Amino acid sequence: IIVIDDFSNDNFYPDSMLWKDNLVFVNRTYALNPITLGVATFDGLDQNGRPYNINLSTSDSQDADTLTSHHINMSLVDSAYFMFFYQPEGLGNDPQLSDSLILEFSSVDSAGNIVWERIWSSPGSDVHDFRKVVILFSDARYLVPEFQFRFRNLASVNGNYDHWNIDYVKLDEYTDPSDTSYLNDVSFSQNTPRILKRYR
């Protein structure tokens, strides 16, 4: 496995070993029937829980949260897959049609500059169950020593609006269709109930 994160760490911020920024909210409360315990939630708030622009009177969609991976050496594989699960709204606020959740891969242009290419996106909608997204790729532009990927969202940035939850992000070498057909993992998906009443 090259990268895997189910956001089950008991922290408000993403794992700094995997991610280079901390703008999203890692939590166990915003998702509805998550794949595993813990999700990363995108909204209109910064890493301190404050609106990006509280003085903005319009609800037009603006750049909001970003979740960017560290550099990943992809030069040792011939084919790879990127998989994740996503859910709009959850137990929060529904993103509007003009809002988006976006996935981008990094590449290098002819001048040697890093550019971000949109690989996948979803417009806002009402809540639905987590949906799986699988992207297979063997393009030499991405199978490089310093590959990166990032999620970002467009949202109303004057408050806690337009929520997206992502869960179980996985990047690995692709060898067989079974790699992406099911999750071969045993994990909690809900908080465990209390087993003691009067004692602790």
pLDDT tens per residue across span 1-10: 689 999 998 7
Question: Please, which residues have CB within 8 angstroms of residue 7's CB and are 6 or more apart in sequence?
Answer: 14, 26, 36, 38, 39, 40, 166, 167
Closest Cα to residue 39, out of 7, 12, 66, 16? 7
The enclosing H or E element of 178 equals: helix 178-181
Question: Please, which residues have CB within 8 angstroms of residue 179's CB and are 6 or more apart in sequence?
Answer: 81, 172
Q: Residue 37 gets which letter from DSSP? A: S
pLDDT, the chain, mean: 92
pLDDT of 194 strictly over 90: no
pLDDT of 13 strictly over 60: yes
Per-residue confidence band for 94, with pLDDT thresholds at 50, 70 and 90: very high
Q: CA geometry: angle at 122 spanning 168 and 9, to 5°?
A: 25
CA distance 70 to 56: 32
Question: Please, which residues have CB within 8 angstroms of residue 48's CB and are 6 or more apart in sequence?
Answer: none
- The predicted model scores a pTM of 0.90
Closest Cα to residue 44, out of 65, 17, 59? 65
Measured distance between the N- and C-terminal CA atoms of the chain, rounded to whole angstroms: 38
Mean of pLDDT values over 91-110: 95
Closest Cα to residue 68, out of 132, 127, 114? 114
